[in-house]
Structure 1
Amino acid sequence: MHPSIELGKQVRAALRTRSRIATKDLYELIGRPSPVEKPRFIVKPAGVAFFHVIDSSTGKARGFRRDHNEACAIARRLEAENRP
């Protein structure tokens, strides 16, 4: 990847981190609980023996499994991959 693109990604990641910290500090300052961040990937039952992993931002299925625990593992992996 080109160095300027990589640098831009790092700057945006740092800004997102700082934004989260500032939001948390603001809520502590006014004495209210911080908003809870909702998960992006949700496991939903689909039919009798399947579970779909749904991307909540698009509403599209990103995967499916017969076992609920395996579907949850996929959702956790996708969540970790898409975190800044």
Structure 2
Amino acid sequence: MHPAIQLANDVRKALRQRSHIAIADFYELIGQPVPGAPPRFVVRMAGKAFFHVVDSRTGKVRGFRRNHNEACALARQLEQKE
């Protein structure tokens, strides 16, 4: 990787870390817990009888089920693998 690109990536990483620290400080000031990361895999209804398990980072469907509970179980299973 080109040194200029690596330097820019390092700067962005440091800024993200400082942003997370600042957000945690603000939540501490108001006495609220810092919200956790959103789930990676979400269940969405697809038609009348199907539920898709979608990767929220890429938007791609990773699986589908006919039952909502089974789709949620699949999403939890995929979340544990990743």
Give the total of aligned pairs.
60
Using the size of structure 2 for normalisation, the TM-score is 0.62
Q: Which runs of 5+ in 1 are unaligned?
A: 1-18
Q: For the structure 1 residues 47 and 29, does the alpha-carbon distance in structure 2 shift closer, same or farther, using more than 3 Å as the test?
A: closer
SS of residue in 2 equivalent to 1:35: coil
Residue number in structure 1 paired with 2:63: 63
State the shift of 1:51 in Å: 0.1
Larger radius of gyration: 2
Using the size of structure 1 for normalisation, the TM-score is 0.60
- Structure 1 vs Structure 2 CA RMSD: 2.3
State the shift of 1:34 in Å: 1.1
Distance, in Å, in 2 between the alignment partners of 1:52 and 1:58 is: 14
Distance, in Å, in 2 between the alignment partners of 1:29 and 1:69 is: 36
Q: Which runs of 5+ in 2 are unaligned?
A: 1-16
Distance, in Å, in 1 between the alignment partners of 2:58 and 2:28 is: 34
